[in-house]
Structure 1
Amino acid sequence: MNIKRNVLLPGVSLAILLASAALSRSAPQHDKTNGIVGRDTTASLAPYFTPANTLKNTPDAEGFIRRWLLLEPINKPNRSNTVFTDSYLRAAFTTTYFPNQFTAVPKNGEKVKVDTQGLTWHALESNNFNIKLFRFASGLNKPTYGVLFWAVTVINSPHEIKNVRMAAGSNSASMWWLNGKETVLLSGDRRMVMDDCVSPRLTINKGKNIVWGAVINGPGMSDFCVRFLDENGMPIKNLTITYE
């Protein structure tokens, strides 16, 4: 039996060979869909995200929504998170950054321009109950500090559900809307805690409902979690989640 062995050439160290192999693995791959060379974003977002698909998706066992459309981060420099007062956040979150900001559900792969930034929407499934925005940005080689993230998802209900509360947590500050109406504002410098803030009583309509969110952070990690609780404080799980 012939056994193939790796043979080091004179003057070539093992460290150099390993470094060369690592560079080869991380080198850009040819993207056959658009004819350009780019990173394998599926691999770069693992193990925190997988691409969303068209199969039926529901909240997880604890009711958390894991399927989201996420926009690549908007530059919003802040050296400290102490500036995130209610008034600052309302001004930051109600600024128009791109067309149809609250009137249309974006498409997966849709591109928008914010000032000089060209940004793309990504339809993703989170592998955790909390959506790790820092990992989303770093996985795409985007800025991770001094940024503003936008998130949107569509929940579908088989019937009208009254006296619902949206429960959200985020790192750092965030604001959330249901069907165009503000529901929760999390201000200040905070860590992500599940059900950190809950909304007043809401109604989930029969059929399609749109959830929008904005998360802002200066230094540090960024993530969020969202779920709906019924009038008894129990997670609502009989929903389907889409991204269109």
Structure 2
Amino acid sequence: MRKRPLRAAQRVTAALLLAAGTGAFAQTQAVPPLSDYFTPAGEAPTTPDKDGFIGRWLLLEPIEKPNPTNTVFTGSYVRDALAPAGFPGEFGTVPEDGEAAGKNASLRWHALDSKLWDVKLFNFAQALGKPKYGVLFWAVTVVESPREIKNVRMAVGSNSASIWWIDGQEVATLFDDRRMVMDDVLSDRLTLKKGRNVIYGAIINGPGLSDFCIRFLDESGEPVRDLEIDVK
């Protein structure tokens, strides 16, 4: 007569142990390391990948900007949130690897080479133990062109909204709640001057993943590859 309740108790115990074990497994799952997505930027300049995407960037640790939804990312909201005046430092300059963000000593710049064609901001923040949601990121890189290249377009994709500048001039805007799509927005035709061209980007996201991709397309729509990329 006592065996039936014993079996029932065993079933309950087994269920509790399974639940506890599952919870422990979930708690101990390792966060993917930064090295899964990035390597430290090398000393020598690099070049775009075979499809023209720029992979070397100075990335600032995320700045908290709480937003429970991405539907608020209208043009006016994004322009205000990502205005150059809000940049933590001197807008237009190139920060150094490990440098503090202006007067905010809690935020640092990281010089990194992306292993993928899209730069994984979510994973960058996660690997550093920083906030992943309700944040904005700043990204900076330097494009060295061997010659003046006219009538190119900057092709941008970002998750979620973003604004992009070259040498302090705004060239591309991506508003509203959007997924990261290759070449989602093309700038007007512009000229990459011979020598140094400094690119700034600001990306904002609420819930969900965050990443971006950048390349330049020539008059024929082909990727511009004969560039040198550095963060100095």
Task: Assess same fold via TM > 0.5.
Answer: yes
- Is residue 74–residue 114 contact of structure 1 (8 Å, CA) maintained in 2? no
How big is the shift at 1:87? 0.5
**Matching residue of 1:175:** 163
Q: Indicate yes or no: 2:74 matched with 1:91.
A: no
How big is the shift at 1:114? 6.5
**Matching residue of 1:45:** 34
**Matching residue of 1:161:** 149
Q: 1:142 to 1:114 in 2, by over 3 A?
A: farther
- Is residue 92–residue 200 contact of structure 2 (8 Å, CA) maintained in 1? no
Equivalenced residues, count = 203
1:194 counterpart (182, 186, 191) = 182
Deviations for 1:31-53, whole angstroms, at most 9, x for unmatched residues?
xxxxxxxxxxxx93021000001
- Is residue 150–residue 212 contact of structure 1 (8 Å, CA) maintained in 2? yes
How big is the shift at 1:97? 3.8
- Is residue 174–residue 187 contact of structure 1 (8 Å, CA) maintained in 2? yes
TM-score normalized with structure 1 length: 0.80
Distance 2:166 2:87 in 1: 19
Distance 1:96 1:187 in 2: 18
How big is the shift at 1:96? 2.0
TM-score normalized with structure 2 length: 0.84
* SS in structure 2 at match of 1:175: strand
Percent of paired sites with the same residue: 58
Q: Partner amino acid for 1:136? A: F
In structure 1, the gaps of 5 or more residues are 1-18, 27-42
**Matching residue of 1:65:** 54
Distance 2:157 2:89 in 1: 27
**Matching residue of 2:139:** 151
**Matching residue of 1:139:** 127
**Matching residue of 1:108:** 97
Q: Partner amino acid for 2:88? A: F
* SS in structure 2 at match of 1:226: strand
2:113 counterpart (97, 105, 125) = 125
Distance 1:149 1:139 in 2: 15
How big is the shift at 1:56? 3.0
* SS in structure 1 at match of 2:86: coil
How big is the shift at 1:54? 1.1
How big is the shift at 1:99? 2.2
Distance 2:89 2:144 in 1: 25
Q: 1:114 to 1:136 in 2, by over 3 A?
A: farther
* SS in structure 1 at match of 2:61: strand
- Is residue 228–residue 235 contact of structure 1 (8 Å, CA) maintained in 2? yes
How big is the shift at 1:177? 0.6
Q: Please identify the structure whose Cα radius of gyration is greater.
A: 2
* Superposition misfits of 4+ residues, deviation over 3 angstroms: none
How big is the shift at 1:113? 5.1
Distance 2:227 2:181 in 1: 23
How big is the shift at 1:220? 0.2
Further displaced range: 207-216 or 51-60 = 51-60
- Is residue 97–residue 114 contact of structure 1 (8 Å, CA) maintained in 2? no
**Matching residue of 2:16:** none
- Is residue 168–residue 197 contact of structure 1 (8 Å, CA) maintained in 2? yes
Deviations for 1:201-227, whole angstroms, at most 9, x for unmatched residues?
110010000000000000000000000
